[in-house]
Structure 1
Amino acid sequence: MTTPPYLTGHYTPVADEITATGLTVEGSLPPELTGRLIRNSHNPKPGVTPAHWFKGSGMVHGIRLREGRAEWYRNRWVHTPALDGAPYMTDRGPDLTASTAGTHVIEHAGRLLALCEANLPFELTPDLETVGAHDFDGKLRTAMTAHPKEDPVTGELHFFGSSPFPPFLTHHVCDAKGELIHSAEIPGATASLKHDFALTRRHVVFVEGNVTFDPAEHSGIPYGWSDAQPSRIGVMPRGEGGARHVRWFSIEPGNMLHVGNAYEDGQGRIVLEGPTVDREGFRLSWNWWIGAPGRGAEPNARSYTRRWVIDLAAGSVDEQIIDDLAVEFPTLNEEYLGAEHRYQYAVSFPDQEGFGGYGVVKYDRVTGARRIHRVGDARLPSEAVFVPAAGAVNEDDGYLLTVVSDLKQDASQLLVLDASGLDRVAAVHLPRRVTAGIHGSWVPDEALDGVRP
């Protein structure tokens, strides 16, 4: 039996949990980097071969920095019922606690939450041990997206729960103290896969692409491309009663997994950006994710950044592909989430012919310039997380943190880049090669003040 690609190379799972202290640092770590970089990854137990990359159990990797030192690295499986084989579907319907918890990890209101979009979040301690499923004191009765958005102005956490069955989409709001204060079903939504969404100062923006529920798909992730599924953007005013006023706008066929950002421009139009794939790009990625024979490409081939400009007054959408580089995992200075931003970051991938390579990309949306930090042969960077510099004045005054998997050395480093020029600032040598993962967060110490160790 051929080993699927998501269990080989950069994605080879690690077999155990370790803790290492006193990590070696090259260069000088900025003292304001005092906190934890926490990354999530799909990492099935030894001997387990999931039928889809996304079905691999979640493992979080943490790197603790403090005042110029790298104090520890540790990795822990998220101990959910699914880790021990509990099924998602039961005689009583879905078990929202039977989660891989392997997509993302965030902090909100002093809680660390490991996320997978089909399930409830799982709370972790600051040392990455599992506390258990978190349902917001019984108020959350749907799954929770792996991509919630924290409003940098209000501190509110917006997120959604989606389902292949009605209600297809429910919007939730959690206040800055961690209490779920609002939930509303969204009219007009369909069974289309909704992995991410956008938040502006005045609107919530949902995206439905051509990937939708497909009961004939047996990989364990029952979704597939459908030409019959309309591709749309839903725009909903923020605030009580906003769901009654949601408007859906038709767009060109495609599928977007991750939003770069969205905002209202000076004319009141909504500008939304993110990498998208066409039908062939989705087929190539899906074949990699399920280990189909003759896949011939890496995931994210044909994933190009697209911009939509939604004119609410005219009821129209203008859209265009704005870059020809295959990228994924867009990030930004999150102080600009929901507002007009100048800089955006991403990870570059080889195209469908295998040309190009891995790197960390910076876009200047004013000048149109694109800069790439090449990480080297047989080296794959993770999603680049932006951390503001002390006394930051400009939008790109800060650092990008990315964990680089190195196949030649069978090792990994935490790479710290200057976000303004993508120059290397420091590197932390990790005690093992970290499994290539998906998403993560920087959690400063003050965010966890008062939280149990």
Structure 2
Amino acid sequence: MDLWLEGHRAPVPDETTAHDLPVAGALPPELNGRYLRNGPNPKPGEPSAHWFTGHGMVHGVRLRDGRAEWYRNRWVRTRRFTDGTPFVRADGTLDLTSVQANTHVVAHDGTVYALVEAGLPYELTPDLDTVGPCDFGGLLTTAMTAHPKRDPRTGDLLFFGYGFIPPHLTYHRLSADGKLVESREVAVPGPTMMHDFAITENHVVWLDLPMVFDLELAGRGAMPFRWDDSYGARLGVMPRVGDGPVRWFDVDPCYVFHVGNAYENGRGGVVLTGARYRDADIAALWGGIGGASSRTEAGTAGPAAPRAAAAGAGAASVAAASGTSRLHRWTLDLATGRASEEVLDDRDVEFPTLDDGRTGLPHRYLYTVAAGSSLVKYDLRTGTAAERGFGGHVGEAVFVPAEDARSEDEGWLLTIASDRAGSRLLVLDAADLSERARVELPRRVPAGFHGSWIPDSDVR
């Protein structure tokens, strides 16, 4: 069986609902809302050719007044799911509604959206039923990233779309009241897989990295991206206001799925953190989850193909199981045009998160998943890290600030942990990673991607 369809990633065959879930410990009474998490889950009998291409399934737990009221899991009923429509129409145009909305789930202006970077967002009800695709009144004509950033000062939601054909990159801004008020094309050399980006108080930070679109792979039904040494690697800093040019900074070849945060350091520089893969690391990982991993598979795979082939199936399995990215920091000096880089830790980590109220601003803490089985809390001020293992698989940790928090790490981390006995929603004290409560879930929850805590005040 394919690696991405077995073990802790194995899909579940149906949807279910359970009420009055067992709770061990004491849920903080201030947690009134929904923890939602999205991930790929192919239909039974319809396996996916890549981990990233399974239909989206959102798992949710409703917390209120110290109780776990319900658990639900629901497929996102996109046109691809319900009708089997193709993403590329017969005339060569793209159907941005025919996607697998499987990567993230967020709320904005009272509405819940399931996201995938290839197409339009899909609106969900607070109980996870699918309403349908959203193009914000016909104004959104590109795909929408699965990693939008909310400005904690203005409430605006900033995002982008990348495309296989021009425009290859478009920046968008959604106002706090849900109106698409800005769209701006950004010039890049060609189509790449730009999974994430970052913002600061005054800038947008772009990741223009050498995972490039390959039409030949698309024709074979594969994820149509491959590593290309010749593309180069660079980070861009673009003013958020006005139409100023992007300042580009060459960096060492790498790939980044997920950034931690970015901010302005007060000395004319922009600081960015992220989980960084070297070229050999991303080649091994990509092969292990269904991507082309050799010259033969990738056709015109370019100079990196021999490294990918040399990694072999064993290395790919290890990479896919444990991750091979490390927490990295780039400092981009806007005065000199120079970029400096440093590895912050040797652990294999992914899914960096922080207090969303500090998005784009200086911050002290980051939380990551290490080797799929531990959480690591980084103190970026002291350079120290604390790790807690869970004896099974643990997913991305979502930070929820405590009411009237007086310190940046005063709050809770929500994550789903799984082992052979099943799955549970853990509520951890973000200060020391100790367990405050656990909610036993009625079924195993497959490993997935990203989630959100959505308080009752954020839905209607």
- TM-score, length basis structure 2: 0.92
Instruction: Show the 5 A alignment for 1:43-442.
Output: 43-84=41-82, 85-92=84-91, 93-217=93-217, 218-242=220-244, 245-290=245-290, 293-294=313-314, 295-299=316-320, 301-349=323-371, 358-376=373-391, 379-406=392-419, 408-409=420-421, 411-442=422-453
Q: Give the letter aligned to residue 400 of structure 2.
A: V
Gaps of 5+ in 2: 294-312
In 1, the alpha carbon distance for the partners of 2:189 and 2:61 equals 39
Partner of 2:309: none
- Equivalent residue of 1:280, what SS? helix
Is 1:6–2:27 an aligned residue pair?
no
Preserved CA contact (<8 Å) 1:272 1:307: yes
Alignment partner, residue 300 of structure 2: none
Separation (CA, whole Å) in 2 of partners of 1:68 and 1:288: 41
Instruction: Look up the match of 2:307.
Output: none
Q: Secondary structure at the match of 2:317?
A: coil
**Aligned counterpart, 1:353:** none
1:189 is displaced (CA, Å) by 4.8
Q: Determine the C-alpha separation between the residues in 2 that align with 1:52 and 1:209.
A: 21
Q: Distance in 2 between matches of 1:91 and 1:240?
A: 39
Corresponding residue SS for 1:270: strand
The alpha carbon displacement at 1:296 in A equals 3.5
Say if 1:271 and 1:307, in contact at 8 Å, map to a contact too. yes
Q: Does the 8 A contact of 2:323 with 2:350 survive in 1?
A: no
How far has the Cα of 1:233 moved from its partner?
A: 0.6
Q: Deviations over 1:292-344 (max 9, x none)?
A: 75433142632011110000010110011111000000000111110110000
CA distance in 1, matches of 2:341, 2:67: 46
Equivalent pairs: percent with the same residue?
A: 50
Say which SS state the counterpart of residue 282 (structure 2) adopts: helix
Q: Distance in 1 between matches of 2:98 and 2:276?
A: 29
Whether the aligned pair in 2 keeps the contact of 1:60 and 1:76 (CA below 8 Å) is yes
Output one character per residue of 1:211-260: Cα deviation in whole Å (capped at 9) or x when no partner: 11122334531100011011011110011324xx1111111000001010
Counterpart of 2:17?
A: 19
AA partner of residue 436 (structure 2): V
Contact 1:169 1:189 in 2 (8 A): no
Q: How many residues align?
A: 434
Distance 2:189 2:338 in 1: 19
Q: Deviations over 1:359-393 (max 9, x none)?
A: 011000011111111111xx111100000012201
* 129-138 vs 283-292, which moves further: 283-292
Listed one character per residue, the Cα deviations across residues 128-183 of structure 1 (whole Å, up to 9, x for unaligned) are: 00000000010000000000000011000000010122111000000000000000
**For each residue in 1:417-436, what CA deviation from the matched residue of structure 2 results, as whole angstroms up to 9, or x when unmatched?**
10000111000000000111
Gapped runs of 5+ residues in structure 1?
350-356
Q: Which has the higher helix share?
A: 2
| AA aligned opposite 2:318 | A
Q: Which moved more, 1:335-344 or 1:233-242?
A: 233-242
Per the alignment, in what secondary structure is the counterpart of residue 296 of structure 1? helix
Distance in structure 2 (CA, Å) of the matches to 1:402 and 1:86: 34
Deviations, residues 31-60 of structure 1 (Å, cap 9, x unaligned): 111100000010000011111111100000
CA offsets, 1:80-139, max 9 Å, x none? 111132211112311100010000000011110000101000000000000000000100
- CA distance in 2 between counterparts of 1:240 and 1:246 reads 11
2:308 maps to which residue?
none
Amino acid at match of 1:431: P
Q: How many Å separate the matches in 1 of 2:317 and 2:182?
A: 45
Q: 1: distance between equivalents of 2:440 and 2:45?
A: 28
> In 1, are the aligned partners of 2:281 and 2:319 still within 8 Å (CA)?
no
Mapped contact 2:3–2:317 kept (Cα < 8 A): no
**Once the 2 structures are TM-superposed, how far is the Cα of residue 280 of structure 1 from its aligned partner?**
1.3
Is the contact made by 1:55 and 1:220 (CA closer than 8 Å) also made in structure 2?
no
Q: What RMSD in Å do the two structures reach over aligned CA positions?
A: 1.2
Which one-letter code corresponds to 1:447 in the other structure?
D
Distance 1:153 1:190 in 2: 33
Q: Distance in 2 between matches of 1:430 and 1:208?
A: 40
Letter in 1 for 2:243: G
CA distance in 2, matches of 1:147, 1:25: 31
Give the 3-state SS of the residue equivalent to 1:446 in structure 2. helix
Task: Find the residue that maps to 1:258 and give its secondary structure.
Answer: strand
Partners of 2:259 and 2:401 in 1: how far apart?
21
